[in-house]
Amino acid sequence: MQAARGRRAADRSVTSWANDHAASLRQLAGTITDLPDLPATAADALTALRDALGDSDPAQLLGPLSEAGPHLRPAHADLADRVTDIGRHTDEMRESEHRHRSSNGS
């Protein structure tokens, strides 16, 4: 039960961060979906990213951005780095929330 509460708290933190950074996330996602030179193997990731762009919750962009990231190299390393940074940041937020809850016995 505590683990589930911890996951929900971490999810809330990430969702709040995504809401605060919605414009940047949407701009990045839009830029990626407009790239004309991605490999055919990126098709599913791009479809998921386009679908997430239509969702009102910007946190829904995080998974599809992560899925699209590997398809951006080597041609779009700068965008791939941004996607990696976002994933790293949200992972750190989740881990920080987990550590916080563990240290408080929650």
Contacts of 14-17 with CB under 8 Å at 24 or more apart are: 14/59, 14/62, 14/90, 14/93, 14/94, 15/57, 15/59, 17/89, 17/90, 17/93
Tens digits of residue pLDDT in 50-101: 999 999 999 999 999 999 999 999 999 999 999 999 999 999 999 998 887 7
The residues spanned by each domain of the chain are 2-103
Q: Within 10 Å of residue 68's Cβ, how many Cβ atoms? A: 25
State the pTM of this model. 0.89
Please say whether the beta carbons of 11 and 98 come within 8 A.
Answer: no
